[in-house]
Every structure is written in C-alpha cells, then in structure tokens.
Amino acid sequence: MTDERKQKIESVLNLRQANLTIVLEDVQDPRNITAVMRTADAVGVQEIYVINTGKPVIKKFGYKSGSSASKWITVHQFTNVEDCFQALRKKFKLIFTTHLSSDAIDLYSIDFTQSVALVFGNEQDGVSEQARSLADGNFIIPQVGMVQSLNISVACAVSIYEAYRQKKQAGHYEQSSMPAEQMELLKDNWGLI
C-alpha cells in the first residue's frame, strides 16, 4: 500500500460518524441497498443495519450502484425487527422511521448532533407497523409535488446529507467519534495494521 493510499484511508476513518446510522427494512431491490451504502460512505456513516424478515440474509453486496462502497461499510443483518431494534438501542439515543403520519416530524426538525438511527422501509409498503411501534417517532421529508414519496436511496441521501450539514456545522467532522476498539478493528479490516 502506498503512503498516499494509507493517508487517504486514515483520513476517511477519522471522519467516520459513530453516532449516525441507517436502517433498511425489507428493501426489495438490492441495488437500492448498495446505493445507500455509497451515500453512507460519502458522509462518513460507518454502519448500516439491514432487516430481511421475508428472505435470507444477503451474502454479497456487489451491484454497480454501490461502487465498491460495501468494502468500506459495516453491515449488520437481521431477520427479526425486534432483534435489530434491541441492537440499535444499545448504540443510538433516538430512532426515527420514515412514515407519512399525522404525528410525523419534519426531517429538518431532527437534531442530528445527537445519536440517531433513521429507518427506511421497503419500496412497496414502507416501514412496518412493528418497526414504527419500536421507534421514538416518525419523520417525513417535506415535499410539494403530487407524489408523496421518494425512491428509498434518494430519501436516504436527502436525510443523511441533512445530518451531515448539521454535524459539520457542529464540528463533528473535526474529530473522530469512533470508539477506540471499533477504530482498531476497522484499521485491521482496511489493511492499516
């Protein structure tokens, strides 16, 4: 590995945000998952959670839309919504689902300087009732058109770039937020040790 490549990897690793994650529930098109990975990598989200209640765990994420982002992202897979939420509660203070409801808050009302997990549902039915019942609330992305939803990878990108904006403004990208043990594991996985 060249010194330049090593410096790039170390720089990226130091900007990873340990207090922001994405959860994808029963997403049907694997290309949407890899597109989300690519966006997550772009804003420094290290971990994403994938829930597949109706199909087997995905063994390989390798679609072109991911542009090899799966190599740099930690993916936690679950076959049960409750198990995933129990894991999320150990690491994240707030969990919000995307759901158009009367009690949903605006994306721009979420304080992303806190520890937050955002849950996105599948392309047909959205987030399950079970996931909504386990979350702290629902959020929506404001829209003024006739169609009331965005493609899941687009909705995720819009949402985490708002998180990026808030976190950058608050100085979160000026220092590493990754726990030391996780940092060492990633260094080993990424070939720095």
- Cα–Cα dist 47/101, whole Å: 27
Q: For residue 192, is pLDDT > 60?
A: yes
Q: For residue 64, is pLDDT > 60?
A: no
Domain parsing of the chain, residue ranges? 3-188
pTM of the entire structure?
0.91
Of the candidates 8, 20, 39, the one whose C-alpha atom is nearest the C-alpha of residue 172 is 20
Predicted local distance difference test score (pLDDT) of residue 167:
96
**Model confidence pLDDT, tens digit, residues 106-142:** 999 999 999 999 999 988 888 999 999 999 999 998 8
User: Which DSSP string do the residues of the chain spell out, in sequence order?
Assistant: --HHHHHHHHHHHHT-BTTEEEEEES-S-HHHHHHHHHHHHHHTB-EEEEE-SSSPPP-----GGGTTGGGTSEEEEES-HHHHHHHHHHH-SEEEEE---TTPEEGGGS-TTS-EEEEE-BTTTBS-HHHHHHSSEEEE----SS-----HHHHHHHHHHHHHHHHHHTTGGGS--S-HHHHHHHHHHTT--
- With a CB cutoff of 8 Å and minimum separation 6, the contacts of 3 are none
Reading the block at residue 146, the tokens are: 């006739």
Predicted local distance difference test score (pLDDT) of residue 31:
86
Angle (CA) 170 86 120, round 5°: 60
**Model confidence pLDDT, tens digit, residues 67-100:** 577 788 999 999 999 999 999 999 999 999 998 7
**What confidence tier does 55 reach under pLDDT thresholds 50, 70, 90?**
confident
Q: Say how many residues make up the chain.
A: 193
Tell me which of 3.40.1280.10, 3.40.630.30, 3.60.9.10, 3.40.50.150 is the CATH number of domain 3-188: 3.40.1280.10
